[in-house]
Structure 1
């Protein structure tokens, strides 16, 4: 304690989790969980003592005030703060340090940091950031100094709404109680991104993605690097989660702060006191499908086998470019099979999508496909072959259908179809749906919000959702299409 309290002493990490995170070699570190575990000091201490150029971000700039105040305490003996630019320039042990503070309140604010390298990227209260913002900004985590370690540090409490659910997906081996191969705190695991999708690798060996003659893509580890374009070689990055609680911080644990955390109402108490990522995540009040309803449907899938019947319907959401995916959702009565996903680059034209449909459907299967934009081309090709067994879904089309209680209508077909999914997932009055336990599907089905207007229920458009959460809910839309059938020129959820 004398060392920690010494006047003008060099910053050193607290014994325990903070030291473990400070010395960790992972490329991406999630630190914290509970409140009071020393997240801010870890970010500031690493920036000063381990890194040459650091970027410390909060979602909104006013939220940085406490961090900047603490930086003034730690950095004042080492340099000067430019408050106009939000940059500390320090000299530590003879080496220059540049520590920048910033924010990304809106989705497009991430573009401010395009091409700007930092060897340490810190996202403070990471659960408040969009996944797309973190992915984009972390893309410039680099240094011209080959001896400089580059890291991304995510400091966070558990998410309180769906915005931060990506954290649980990124760190599933540590945070998902249903993960098949759980990881210990601080254990390094390898992850790679292929076609916009992240997945866990067995080890850190570099690999190539090679397309076979049948169109399947496989991972190839044995190759001669001299014969391969270096940009095609995928090198997994390491991640880890290091939990910390207020009891790991002597400055807080002896100050009465624990009693204040204990007095919080649940589930906030469990989140802040214990760092419980699973405790009572709250849905947005206008979220069209409650998260718990989707989880219950996914639990039913785990214990219920696929019915021995022909495929009832195939819902197809066609990629519209960029990071979007083409998603196929097979449905067997009220049991949904695992979704088949293709990156947009793998479905460059209508012929490829049509061929995928022919390969998957059975003779009696109804195909429901989004025909907005590029979906019109595969619709025409498939309809020429199977006739009225395909329905082109145009979300903007009108409908006279009412909700199940016959109390209100819908401004367009998109609103109707999403509401039918809500009704079918209702644990009391629903259709006992079984959905595959896919985290991406859960997130997508819980993403759209709605409002009631004079003409009925209005659901967010894809474009509005993408602007808000930074991605398109392709898996959710595909599942909604798989549920829908048409009758009398309108649509209804049918089992």
Structure 2
């Protein structure tokens, strides 16, 4: 009597497992068998990695509780592949008969990735890559791919449902989620990044389970994302402004928003000199409509860098609104940010300190009047879509908003909500207009 088949890949899973590109992303829609595929791929089965004593694999998720499902799945599969394999609970690692190891890890915060500094792996995988709002963790881990054995190639693998824009850009994914391949020439070495889409229809194991019918009952955005695999309706589950940004998209208010020369352009800042600095450019029409026409964000740049960049733009400026800490004097110069900006010819108002939750409530109220330029404010749109609450790992309850790359643009928008009533178009330019004397009384 033959042994029952423990696991058999679908055609799409086989395509992923046999891929030879340097980086491969597998997924898109829900139900395509992503987690099983990455657990199998971690064995390095294509080149018998688990049989090589030098083979080291690292499988990452965002938080430790999320790892439990993957660990439980490996407890079923790995001993069947190698009866001598053993799981070391304290290390959260599998050790195979050959001495090869597969280690589980997590990176709840970006700095957590530094625990792998100095280590080397031949295979690194991230399950649910879309839970990482920025590329920082992924890009840092690629630097940990090194091989002491020429017979062991290095591979980066990931799975996810439609997620942040940085993933689309890295793998060249279209809004519709079609298969893609990006090739980079680095000093003559061609690096390849491939996206393999999968759909519920590709996974025969879920046929007749009712899963498709449940996905069909989801709201439009979630249904398009999870069933159809579309990447242009992405929502972060714990996003602070998820409903507001969805309405902005549904209303078509992410569109070309040209600069209106008849209106003043005001700027709203989130200050950060050792961190990201964000500047929103906004025009307020007489009907209260907020025309968000431009956005500037950079990291570790001096103040004059931003002022020069602003002066290079063809806008007739009104007021620069900066947060409360802009009034604090620097201990080295004895001058505040407000004073420095005014010395550069800017018209500055310092906003009062406010509670973050109250500011978020104000921001929710102005979204319905905001239009965002689809090209010049891409960074702000991404920040507002990915700005999220923290989640308690034990209770699942939302906590305070997370401070990450998205929070800078979101904070600037919160300040915009505080000051938009002070934006006016009353005077023109930095100097008074001089009219000719026509001799008329």
Structure 1 length normalisation: TM-score?
0.64
- The residue aligned with 1:89 is 95
Contact kept in structure 2, 1:315 and 1:368, CA below 8 Å: yes
Q: How far off is 1:25 after superposition?
A: 3.4
**2:57 equivalent in structure 1:** 54
5+ unaligned residues in a row in structure 1: which ranges? Answer: 159-163, 178-182, 191-203, 207-224, 226-232, 397-410, 451-459
Q: Deviation at 1:189?
A: 1.6
Q: Does 1:292 align with 2:246?
A: yes
Q: Aligned in 2, Cα 1:328/1:142: closer, same or farther, shift over 3 Å?
A: farther
Instruction: Check if 1:433 corresponds to 2:433.
Output: no
| Equivalent-residue separation in structure 2 for 1:69 and 1:372 (angstroms) | 49
2:248–2:254: 8 Å Cα contact kept in structure 1? no
| Corresponding residue number in structure 2 for 1:26 | 21
Superposed, 1:249-328 pairs within 5 Å as: 249-250=203-204, 252-253=205-206, 256-257=208-209, 259-264=210-215, 265-267=217-219, 272-277=226-231, 281=235, 284=238, 287=241, 290-295=244-249, 299-300=252-253, 302-309=255-262, 311-322=264-275, 324-327=276-279
Q: Could you give the per-residue CA deviations for residues 389-441 of structure 1, whole angstroms, max 9, x where no partner exists?
A: 222335x2xxxxxxxxxxxxxx55x6666555433321xxx3x5344454431
Q: Kindly tell me: are residues 171 and 439 of structure 1, through their superposed partners in 2, closer, same or farther at Cα, counting changes over 3 Å?
A: farther
Unaligned runs of 5+ in 2: 50-54, 390-398, 426-441
Aligned length: 390
Classify the secondary structure of the residue corresponding to 1:31: strand
The separation in 1 between residues aligned to 2:2 and 2:167, in whole angstroms, is 39
- Decide whether the 8 Å contact of 1:125 with 1:155 is kept in 2: yes
Structure 1 CA distance, aligned partners of 2:112 and 2:323? 31
CA–CA distance in 1 between the matches of 2:255 and 2:78? 53
Tell me whether 1:337 sits opposite 2:337 in the alignment.
no
CA contact (8 A) 1:441 1:476 kept: yes
Q: After superposition, where does 1:62-73 map in structure 2 within 5 Å?
A: 62-73=65-76
Cα distance, 1:303 vs. partner? 4.8
**What displacement does 1:339 show?**
1.8
Cα distance, 1:141 vs. partner?
3.3
The aligned counterpart of 1:444 is 383
Structure 2 CA distance for partners of 1:296 and 1:368, relative to 1, 3 Å: farther
When normalised by structure 2's length, the TM-score is: 0.71
Counterpart in 1 of 2:318? 365
SS at match of 2:164: helix
Compute the displacement of 1:295 (Å): 2.7
Task: Measure the CA separation in 1 of the matches of 2:270 and 2:416.
Answer: 10
In structure 2, relative to structure 1, the CA distance for the partners of 1:311 and 1:173 (3 Å cut) is: farther
**8 Å contact kept, 2:164–2:386:** no
1:382 to 341, 355, 377: 341
Which residue is 2:156 aligned to? Answer: 152
Q: 1:64 to 1:7 in 2, by over 3 A?
A: farther
| 1:168-183 to 2 correspondences below 5 Å | 169-170=168-169, 173-177=172-176
User: Is 1:74 aligned to 2:77, yes or no?
Assistant: yes
Residues 112-167 of structure 1: CA deviation (Å, up to 9, x unaligned) = 33433222222223333453444444442333345533232222334xxxxx5357
2:405 alignment partner, SS class: coil
Quick check: 1:171–1:240 contact (8 Å CA) kept in 2? Answer: no
In structure 1, how many angstroms separate the alpha carbons of the residues matched to 2:150 and 2:424?
59
The CA distance in 1 between the partners of 2:224 and 2:92, in whole Å, is 34
